[in-house]
Amino acid sequence: MQLIDQYNRRLNYLRISITDRCNLNCIYCTPRQGFTKLRHKDILTYEEILRLSRIAIKLGVNKIRLTGGEPLVRRGIYEFIPRLVSLPGLEDVSLTTNGIYLKDNLKKLRSSGIKRLNVSLDTLKRKKYQYITGHDGLRQVLDGLSLAKELAFEPIKINVVVMKGINDDEVTDLARLSLVEPYHIRFIEYMPLGASNTVHFSYHVPSSRIKVEVSRPGNLIPVQKSMYDGPAERFRFKGAPGEIGFISPITHKFCHQCNRLRLTASGCLRPCLLSNQEVDIKGPMRAGASEEELSRIFLKTALNKPYAHHVSSLNPIPVTAQMSSIGG
């Protein structure tokens, strides 16, 4: 049995939010006034995540991304990752982090089996970084990125959420980084997530506009997609060591090729990031469900994956869960 939905999409990619806790408070991700955090006992334990991962792998998942909240704030993460990485049948484990704790932990991450990193960095200006994230941490992130390069993490992707009036004036400078560093700079369209974020749809900048700004330093040459590629359209400036990517979940929906399933920190399966549909799997698991019963929950969730989301600038339906619990 494989995770295949009713539109014949094979879901081989599981994104796991291992905690809803984060050391930053980014304006696009968590409400400034705060939000109710999960109780510790409501967050999946590592043993539970491993059990569900084993089941998912038997059902065809071969790629897992760890995200959050901030995965590197969870105690025990460096002991957990090698256990996950060594699960038979899993081909790729990657991590999305805000990079604050990277520098001091990169060697541990490397030896735990992580090679592919996504680091969120929305600005190169110290004050603006502090405004966006609520923390004066730009230096820490830049130092972490430099060390990641020295330790030959490959690829090192930098996720930039582009927001009108906040950091859209910097996209050319961020793109230029790819001319001197081997980083893949990925410009992501802002998505309205979390009930309180709907008012911010005015942040949204379509990728078509971002692309015009990004093209200023030179022609963007398309790059061939590779095996573990996500939905980014990939480009490179001539001779550049790095790359540019555009991820356009709102204006160029890639739903038709979506191969993702999400496991939230609270133990729910989510077949679509931008839909409120989620299925509790922690409850049945804690109530003693067998592997077969848990497999059935996975299969049914996959089958019911919506064909597409319906969020657009004209239709900003609020997605009520917080990104930190879902994991982005």
Binding site for ligand SAM (CB under 6 A): 22, 28-29, 67-68, 70, 96-98, 120, 159, 161, 188, 190-191, 193, 323-324, 327-328
3-class DSSP state of 142: helix
Q: Which is nearer to ligand SAM, 68 or 231 (CB)?
A: 68
State in angstroms the smallest separation of the CB of 237 from ligand SAM.
23
**Residue corresponding to tokens 């991700």:** 29
Q: Which is nearer to ligand SAM, 12 or 248 (CB)?
A: 248
Task: Give which of 125, 215, 217 is closest to 166, Cα–Cα.
Answer: 125
Q: Which is nearer to ligand SAM, 55 or 121 (CB)?
A: 121
> Any bridge partners for residue 163, and if so which?
204
State in angstroms the smallest separation of the CB of 152 from ligand SAM.
21
Q: Which is nearer to ligand SAM, 22 or 177 (CB)?
A: 22
Q: Which is nearer to ligand SAM, 285 or 323 (CB)?
A: 323
State in angstroms the smallest separation of the CB of 250 from ligand SAM.
9
Q: Which segments of the chain are extended strands (E)? A: 13-17, 63-67, 92-97, 116-120, 156-162, 184-189, 220-222, 233-237, 243-247, 260-263, 268-270, 279-280
Q: Indicate the residue whose CB is closest to ligand SAM.
A: 328
Q: Which segments of 190-314 are extended strands (E)? A: 220-222, 233-237, 243-247, 260-263, 268-270, 279-280
User: Any idea of the CA torsion for 113, 24, 264, 77, to the nearest 10 degrees?
Assistant: 30
State in angstroms the smallest separation of the CB of 72 from ligand SAM.
8
State in angstroms the smallest separation of the CB of 196 from ligand SAM.
11
Task: Give which of 2, 10, 12, 22 is closest to 265, Cα–Cα.
Answer: 22
- With b for 16 or more beta-carbon neighbours within 10 A and e for fewer, the 192-201 pattern comes to bbbeebeebb
State in angstroms the smallest separation of the CB of 12 from ligand SAM.
20
Q: Which is nearer to ligand SAM, 96 or 301 (CB)?
A: 96
Q: Which is nearer to ligand SAM, 54 or 184 (CB)?
A: 184
Determine the Cα–Cα distance for residues 269 and 16; give it in Å rounded to an integer.
Answer: 9
State in angstroms the smallest separation of the CB of 90 from ligand SAM.
20
